[in-house]
Amino acid sequence: MSVRIHPSILSADFVNFERDFLTIANSDSIHVDVMDGHFVPNLTFGLPMVARMQEITPKPLDVHLMIENVDLLAERYSDTGAASVTFHAEASQDSVDLARRIRACGSKVGIAVKPGTSLDMILQTLDEFDMVLVMTVEPGFGGQPLIEDCLEKVAIARSAIDRAGLNVLLQVDGGIDDTNIARVASYGADTFVAGSSVFKSENRAARIDSLRELASHPLARH
Ligand code: DX5
Ligand code: ZN
């Protein structure tokens, strides 16, 4: 299982994205947190910014939508050329229909669940998605500690993906750092979002490499 590290630019300098993107050139993808101030109690940026980011970096963009009205808006993020668009199960009225529409626009599609949301609402339709995102903090802010209780959901998602023989990435987002990534990997995650851990590091490229290395050697679970 190959490990992917996706730095979250929520912890980058919002008026120096171009400069900051260059510091994470060895990442696998750039995780772009779109927040509308309604679905989550924080506001970041919207379509014009994501479209512009696409122009200034050759890296794939992994867009994480934390917005209401996602059924109306998600395809437009795909139209910017985003490599993947992930939306929250809690925000969509018809996640299978939306997933199909996003794929038809040319992006991979992910489905995210907040810490309090059961995986039951997505496990039957995993084959409609390219990625499952198990949030390991309440979405909205960077720099929060990982919620340990979420890791059991990572294990459940891993079993469901493997049992069905699906080619679906399993992403975790929130509180991932060099002290816990090997343990989180042991629950079966393969795609790791890291915001503050990367951007607050003095050598971001080295931090990305070390996170990737640590996640490649999952610790035994007790
Ligand atoms: C939180 C965002 C995350 C956030 C993670 O709602 O979805 O992507 O930036 O930040 P850290 O890694 O600092 O917890
Ligand atoms: Zn995110």
Closest ligand 1 atom, residue 174 Cα? 14
Domain that holds residue 155: 4-215
What is the three-class DSSP state of 60? coil
> pLDDT > 90: what percent of the chain?
97
Cα of 146 from ligand 1 centre, angstroms: 10
The answer to whether residue 134 is domain-embedded is yes
Cα of 165 from ligand 2 centre, angstroms: 26
The answer to whether residue 94 is domain-embedded is yes
Q: Known catalytic residue: 130?
A: no
The answer to whether residue 52 is domain-embedded is yes
What is the DSSP track for 89-130? Answer: TTT-S-HHHHHHHHHHTT-EEEEEE-TTS-THHHHTTGGG-S
The answer to whether residue 205 is domain-embedded is yes
The answer to whether residue 13 is domain-embedded is yes
Which CATH number fits the domain that encloses residue 92? 3.20.20.70
The answer to whether residue 221 is domain-embedded is no
Given 20, 130, 173, 177, which residue is catalytic? 173
Which tens digit of pLDDT belongs to each residue from 165-176? Answer: 999 999 999 999
The answer to whether residue 40 is domain-embedded is yes
Distance CA 91, CA 111 (A): 10
When divided into structural domains, the chain yields a total of 1
Given 33, 36, 130, 190, which residue is catalytic? 33
pLDDT band at 219 (very low <50, low <70, confident <90, very high): confident
Which tens digit of pLDDT belongs to each residue from 86-138? Answer: 999 999 999 999 999 999 999 999 999 999 999 998 999 999 999 999 999 99
